[in-house]
Amino acid sequence: MPNYIFWPYESLFENSAAQGPQVALAISFEKTHFVVLGVCEPQYLEEVSIRPPYSVVATKNNGAEGWNYKVADPCNVHFRIPKLKFMQFYSSDPISLIIPEKEVGLHSSVGETLNYSKLEQHPRYKRDNKKLSETLNIINLFPAYCKALNELYPFIQTSQENLRGTMLNSVAAWCSSTCIYKMVAKIGFYLTFVICSIASLVSSLLNYSHFQLVNYSAFVQQIDLRCQQICYFPVQYERINKKDNIQNVGSMVEKDNSNSQFSHSYMPSKFYPDYILLYNTIWLIINDISFGLILGAILIENRDFLVSASHRVLKFFLYDSLKTITETLANNPLGIKLNAELANFLSELFLWVIEFSYTTFIKRLIDPKTLSSLLTLTIYMMFLVGFSFAVSLAIDFFAILSFPIYVFYRISSKLYHCQLNIMASLFNLFCGKKRNVLRNRIDHNYFQLDQLLLGTLLFIILVFLTPTVMAFYMSYTVLRMLTITIEIFSEAVIALINHFPLFALLLRLKDPKRLPGGISIELKTTVSNKHTTLELQNNPIKFKSMFRPYNLLLSQMRTNYFSFATVRKIVRGESIMVNRNKLYYVLYSSLPSKPLSVKDLYKRLTIQA
Partner 1 sequence: MTRSPWKRLLWLKQEYPDNYTDPSFIELRARQKAESNQKSDRKLSEAARAQIRLDFISFYQTILNTSFIYITFTYIYYYGFDPIPPTIFLSFITLIISRTKVDPLLSSFMDVKSSLIITFAMLTLSPVLKSLSKTTASDSIWTLSFWLTLWYIFVISSTKSKDKPSNLSTNILVALVAVLSSRLSTTIDVFCFLLICIQLNIILPTYLSVTNKVVPIISNIIVYSFLNVALGWIYMLLIFFASVFYITVLPKWFIYWKINYHKRDNDLLSTWDARTPILD
Residues engaged in binding partner 1 (CB under 8 A): 332, 337-341, 429-432, 443, 445-450, 452-461, 464-465
In this structure, the number of other CB atoms found within 10 A of the CB of residue 304 comes to 11
Q: In the bound complex, what is the minimum distance in angstroms from residue 451's beta carbon to partner 1?
A: 8
Q: In the bound complex, what is the minimum distance in angstroms from residue 337's beta carbon to partner 1?
A: 4
Q: In the bound complex, what is the minimum distance in angstroms from residue 454's beta carbon to partner 1?
A: 5
Host H or E run for residue 441: strand 441-444
Q: In the bound complex, what is the minimum distance in angstroms from residue 434's beta carbon to partner 1?
A: 10
Neighbouring residues of 107: CB distance < 8 A, sequence distance ≥ 6: 113
Residue 594 CA to residue 183 CA, distance in Å, equals 32
Cβ–Cβ under 8 Å, residues 327 and 351: yes
Q: In the bound complex, what is the minimum distance in angstroms from residue 433's beta carbon to partner 1?
A: 8
For residues 110 and 457, which CB has a smaller minimum distance to partner 1 in the complex? 457
Residue 150 CA to residue 132 CA, distance in Å, equals 25
Q: In the bound complex, what is the minimum distance in angstroms from residue 394's beta carbon to partner 1?
A: 44
Residue 72 CA to residue 84 CA, distance in Å, equals 32
Cβ–Cβ under 8 Å, residues 367 and 441: no
Q: In the bound complex, what is the minimum distance in angstroms from residue 431's beta carbon to partner 1?
A: 6
Cβ–Cβ under 8 Å, residues 13 and 24: yes
For residues 20 and 432, which CB has a smaller minimum distance to partner 1 in the complex? 432
78 — phi, psi (to 5°)?
Answer: -95, 145
**Among 571, 573, 535, 270, which residue's Cα sits nearest to residue 415?**
573
**Among 505, 438, 513, 415, which residue's Cα sits nearest to residue 87?**
513
265 — phi, psi (to 5°)?
Answer: -70, -20
For residues 337 and 568, which CB has a smaller minimum distance to partner 1 in the complex? 337
For residues 466 and 537, which CB has a smaller minimum distance to partner 1 in the complex? 466
Q: In the bound complex, what is the minimum distance in angstroms from residue 437's beta carbon to partner 1?
A: 15
Q: In the bound complex, what is the minimum distance in angstroms from residue 329's beta carbon to partner 1?
A: 13
For residues 174 and 345, which CB has a smaller minimum distance to partner 1 in the complex? 345
Cβ–Cβ under 8 Å, residues 439 and 517: no
For residues 225 and 465, which CB has a smaller minimum distance to partner 1 in the complex? 465
Cβ–Cβ under 8 Å, residues 268 and 84: yes
For residues 468 and 477, which CB has a smaller minimum distance to partner 1 in the complex? 468
Burial of 216 (0-12, 13-18, 19+ CB in 10 A): middle
Residue count of the chain, please give it. 609
For residues 451 and 593, which CB has a smaller minimum distance to partner 1 in the complex? 451
For residues 203 and 347, which CB has a smaller minimum distance to partner 1 in the complex? 347
Host H or E run for residue 395: helix 387-401
Where are any strands of DSSP class E within 132-197?
Answer: 157-158
Q: In the bound complex, what is the minimum distance in angstroms from residue 364's beta carbon to partner 1?
A: 40
For residues 243 and 337, which CB has a smaller minimum distance to partner 1 in the complex? 337
Q: What pairs with residue 3 in β-bridges?
A: 74
Torsion (CA) 326, 327, 333, 334 in degrees, nearest 10: -100
For residues 202 and 465, which CB has a smaller minimum distance to partner 1 in the complex? 465
Q: In the bound complex, what is the minimum distance in angstroms from residue 326's beta carbon to partner 1?
A: 18
Question: What Cα–Cα distance (Å) separates residue 576 from each residue in 91, 467, 477?
Answer: 44, 21, 10
Q: In the bound complex, what is the minimum distance in angstroms from residue 215's beta carbon to partner 1?
A: 42
For residues 456 and 532, which CB has a smaller minimum distance to partner 1 in the complex? 456
**How do beta strands 3-8 and 74-79 pair?**
parallel
Q: What pairs with residue 435 in β-bridges?
A: 442
Cβ–Cβ under 8 Å, residues 338 and 467: yes
For residues 129 and 428, which CB has a smaller minimum distance to partner 1 in the complex? 428
Question: What Cα–Cα distance (Å) separates residue 564 from each residue in 489, 558, 560, 561, 579?
Answer: 20, 9, 10, 9, 19
Q: In the bound complex, what is the minimum distance in angstroms from residue 438's beta carbon to partner 1?
A: 12
Neighbouring residues of 252: CB distance < 8 A, sequence distance ≥ 6: 262, 263
Q: Give DSSP secondary structure letters for 16-33.
A: GGGG--EEEEEE--TTS-
